[in-house]
Amino acid sequence: MKTFSAKTSQSGLPEALARAKAITPQISVLFGASGFFADREGLEKTFQGAGLNVIGCSTAGEISGGRVSDDSFSLLSLHFDATEVKTAEAPLKNALASRAAGQDIGRKLAAPNLAGIFVLAPGLNVNGSEFTRGIVETVGKNVVVTGGLAGDGGAFAATFTFMNGHVHGDHAVAFGLYGDKVSMRAGSRGGWKPFGPIRRVTKASANILYEIDGKPALKLYKEYLGAKAKDLPASGLLYPFSLLRDDSREDTGLIRTILGIDDAAESLILAGDMPQGSLVRLMHADTDSLVEGARSAAGDAGGTAPADTATLMVSCVGRKIIMGSDVEEEVEAVAAAIGPQSAYAGFYSYGEIGPAAGGSCELHNQTMTITHIRESA
């Protein structure tokens, strides 16, 4: 297995892609600042002229090596010696189409020797839980599925994915790895802490939260945020919900963050499902706890790499906002845990896809989710 990784500006992208060709990669993954997609036609010409199999998405920040940027491309190219790679894409026009899009991706990549899938989906107008569920129910729970939802800085206006030289605002894209020589391991941790009372979801439909404890969800949430409510939905990234499972009242569970609000319905639009009747609690965090979460995720993904490997990091824009100028600490923690034998790339997202505590892959919010890929000799 060979890898090539690079951080580049928009003008330097053609040269970076040309350098990647030296290892004859079967797949390249590219994460780019959302502002670059204003020149959609120019990007498509660059991709089409590269002669590489490239998938990627827009971001809320790019990870390259141990650094975080807001105005770059982060490229990771992979050459395998004994592993087959396939790509797939599926239209995802709106949240109601999420599960069908996931099933479409799953059908296109399913095979008895499928080892893992890395997938990127639109960050808006999507139900990430249903999308992930569609993939998992098609390929089976034993296949590792990781990835994330595209970002748009903190604007929440438009996100993009791309594959095979085409840029899309409403497509999911993915690649699958096949064979018994390749290993894809993953870890997903948060590091958030609960505050406030545990409350009951009394009215919800899929990823739309209408009432908590019989009160309009948006009204109650604004009461918690106080002056920060005027900056919704962006300020909601600082105070996600923890979705507690099985009435266990554990301090943490699946984390759900806000993608939008509906003032007329007084509802919150979340990145993933919020089941009616479930228990929820608000969360907050500091830099130290988030960094420790990232370090734990690296351990779950395999720890120290014994040979040349690739590591894809998908973290959440909310974590980036909270850590501010210290955001690189979580990336450095991952790199220190896995080691210099690995090539690194990643992005800050609107949602992360990876394994949950129960083992099955699900949509997460506000986590660091790590995909560690290695190939045996």
The domain in which residue 257 lies consists of 193-283
54 and 154 in a common domain: yes
Domain boundary among 256, 283, 310: 283
279 and 262 in a common domain: yes
Total of domains in the chain: 2
Residue 262 bridge partners (DSSP): 267
Surface-to-core class of residue 345, CB atoms within 10 Å of its CB (0-12 exposed, 13-18 middle, 19+ buried): buried
151 and 104 in a common domain: yes
Domain boundary among 248, 283, 318: 283
178 and 223 in a common domain: no
Q: What is 195-254 written as a DSSP string?
A: EEEEEEEEEEETTEEEEETTEEHHHHHHHHHGGGGGGTTGGGGGSPEEEE-TT---S--E
DSSP state of 288: H
352 and 214 in a common domain: no
pLDDT at 125 > cutoff 70: yes
Q: What is 103-122 written as a DSSP string?
A: HHHHHHH--TTEEEEEEEE-
Could you read off the pLDDT of 166-212 as tens digits, one per residue? 999 999 999 999 999 999 999 999 988 888 899 999 999 989 999 99
pLDDT given for residue 154 in this prediction = 83
Could you read off the pLDDT of 326-347 as tens digits, one per residue? 999 999 999 999 999 999 999 9
Domain boundary among 283, 317, 348: 283
Q: The sheet that has 361-364: what strands, in order across it?
A: 84-91, 171-178, 114-121, 144-149, 352-355, 361-364
Joined together, the tokens standing for residue 158 give 């438009």
- Model confidence band, residue 247 (pLDDT cutoffs 50, 70, 90): low
Q: What phi and psi, each to the nearest 5 degrees, are found at residue 363?
A: -80, 135
